[in-house]
Amino acid sequence: MDKRVRSIDAFRTLAIVKMLLCHFVLYLASDREPNSWIVVSLCGPYGSFGAQFFTFTVGLSFFFSDKKHWGDGRTHGLRHHVRRAAVLFSMGIVFSILAWSLDGALDWDILTLIAFSIFVLALVRRLPSPVILLLMLIVVVLSPFLRANVDFFSYWGNETFEYAARWDGVHDLIGFFVTGYFPIFPWLFFPLSGFLVARCLFTDEARGRVWATRLFALGVLSLVVGPVLQAFGNPWGWNLRGSFYPLSSFRLLASIGLCLVVYLCFYRVFDVRQSVLPQYFDSMSRSSLTLYLVHHFVILWPLWIAGALEEDVAKYFQKSMEPYQALLLGFVFLLAWIPISKAWRSRGYKYGAEWLLKKLT
């Protein structure tokens, strides 16, 4: 069970590259208008899929992690998952403080979502697939209802439209589950989906290939249904606009469809046909958590420092350059990672976030 699954590595690489480029543009660009093709292509309704891919991968990876910790005769699988979730949750809080200051500690970034998802997956991993599917549907159906009943937009600033923690207990707990940047409802849907897909594909090889065809068709259907609901849902009062905050039903359907279609293409290429995965993809996947953390600091800390020197910390945030310049910087960062990853690979990826997570769990 120590053998890596190449389709997951390829898919995770695509997710982290997409998130990285999107953040370079969002955090540095001076032009965020809808008519900017760079902004729209990276962060528009059909472009902002990096986070969905990343969380979908959590479920895929969890399937093999769980299999490893039970398949080799050990009986501490549940304890391992819970410890891993706790450590990752703590890392998420520390990361938010270092990247966004103490005020951002309870903004509920994607790492706290992933940590809680691992905890939930640890609890449901032995349940029958129909029960997990039912849980996924409950998450999707309840999300708009919960947002409406807690007045979602009252938790976000009117001018900048940013979520703000209040450190008052109830508000922040609601933020974690419903109104934060990456709340459990509906984002838990993606890790559960990834786990269920991995179970279908890899439990039995022969049946897995049959399931691959079915799931691919389901993905194509979701890609079609999502935009249709976007077009006709709003006049019917279905609240299906294409927002990311909160993640609309339209984006959720389109995103899971894209997850299925893209991942199953990788499954076909790398797992069924056994094509060789480029070494760069392998190293990017192995260090994806570290990359997620590091690229935030590379982008944000210079902005905060330059702003602080002029007595306005946020002066250059989203105002420092044009979108094409920010995108070029993103590609420069990816190119610079090639020699770094090669040198790091020869040292077993020591002292990275993944290495630390493994040591602590």
Contacts of 230 (CB under 8 A, 6+ apart): 45, 240, 241, 242, 248, 250
pLDDT-above-90 percentage for the chain: 54
> By residue range, what is the domain housing residue 314?
6-360
Q: Please give the pLDDT value at position 3.
A: 73
C-alpha–C-alpha distance, residues 290 and 284, integer Å: 9
Which comes out higher in pLDDT, residue 234 or 9?
A: 9
Q: Please give the pLDDT value at position 114.
A: 97
Q: Please give the pLDDT value at position 151.
A: 84
Q: Please give the pLDDT value at position 333.
A: 95
Given the structure tokens 């910790």, which residue do they identify? 69
340: confidence class by pLDDT, cuts 50, 70, 90? confident
Retrieve residue 240's tokens: 């299906």
- 190 pLDDT more than 70: yes
Q: What type of residue sits at position 139?
A: V
Retrieve residue 193's tokens: 């989906």
196: confidence class by pLDDT, cuts 50, 70, 90? very high
Closest by CA to 257, choosing from 201, 219, 308, 295, is 219
C-alpha–C-alpha distance, residues 333 and 269, integer Å: 28
- Number of independent structural domains in the chain: 1
Which comes out higher in pLDDT, residue 28 or 1?
A: 28
Which comes out higher in pLDDT, residue 91 or 239?
A: 91
Closest by CA to 27, choosing from 354, 298, 257, 355, is 298
pLDDT-above-70 percentage for the chain: 90
C-alpha–C-alpha distance, residues 150 and 127, integer Å: 31
* Model confidence pLDDT, tens digit, residues 112-156: 999 999 999 999 999 999 999 999 999 999 998 898 888 888 888
Answer yes or no: are the C-beta atoms of 192 and 135 closer than 8 Å. yes
The C-alpha angle with vertex 322 and arms to 301 and 329, in degrees rounded to 5, equals 55
Given the structure tokens 């543009």, which residue do they identify? 25
Q: Please give the pLDDT value at position 280.
A: 85
Average pLDDT of every residue of the chain: 87
C-alpha–C-alpha distance, residues 25 and 118, integer Å: 30
- 191 pLDDT more than 90: yes
- 69 pLDDT more than 70: no
Contacts of 263 (CB under 8 A, 6+ apart): 7, 11, 56, 60, 197
Q: Please give the pLDDT value at position 165.
A: 81
* Model confidence pLDDT, tens digit, residues 295-325: 999 999 999 999 999 999 989 998 888 888 9
Q: What type of residue sits at position 103?
A: D
Instruction: Decide if 92 is inside a domain.
Output: yes
C-alpha–C-alpha distance, residues 10 and 6, integer Å: 6
- 228 pLDDT more than 90: no
State pTM to two decimals.
0.92
Q: Please give the pLDDT value at position 72.
A: 47
Least reliable range by pLDDT among 15-29, 228-242, 336-350: 228-242
Dmax of the chain from CA atoms? 63
100: confidence class by pLDDT, cuts 50, 70, 90? very high
- 11 pLDDT more than 80: yes
Q: Please give the pLDDT value at position 158.
A: 60
* Model confidence pLDDT, tens digit, residues 75-88: 457 888 999 999 99
* Model confidence pLDDT, tens digit, residues 233-283: 554 444 555 678 888 888 888 899 999 999 999 999 999 999 998 888 888
Given the structure tokens 């934060």, which residue do they identify? 180
Contacts of 160 (CB under 8 A, 6+ apart): none
The C-alpha angle with vertex 264 and arms to 66 and 244, in degrees rounded to 5, equals 85
39: confidence class by pLDDT, cuts 50, 70, 90? confident
Instruction: Decide if 22 is inside a domain.
Output: yes
Closest by CA to 288, choosing from 349, 358, 354, is 354
Mean pLDDT, residues 161-188: 90
C-alpha–C-alpha distance, residues 304 and 139, integer Å: 37
Least reliable range by pLDDT among 161-165, 206-210, 295-299: 161-165
Cβ neighbours around 145 below 10 Å, total? 11
70: confidence class by pLDDT, cuts 50, 70, 90? low
Q: Please give the pLDDT value at position 238.
A: 46
200: confidence class by pLDDT, cuts 50, 70, 90? very high
C-alpha–C-alpha distance, residues 132 and 138, integer Å: 10
Contacts of 105 (CB under 8 A, 6+ apart): 93, 96, 97, 165
Instruction: Decide if 1 is inside a domain.
Output: no
Within the chain, residue ranges assigned H as helices are 6-28, 37-43, 50-71, 77-100, 110-124, 129-149, 170-174, 184-187, 189-202, 205-233, 249-266, 279-286, 288-309, 323-345, 353-360
- 203 pLDDT more than 70: yes
Cβ neighbours around 325 below 10 Å, total? 16
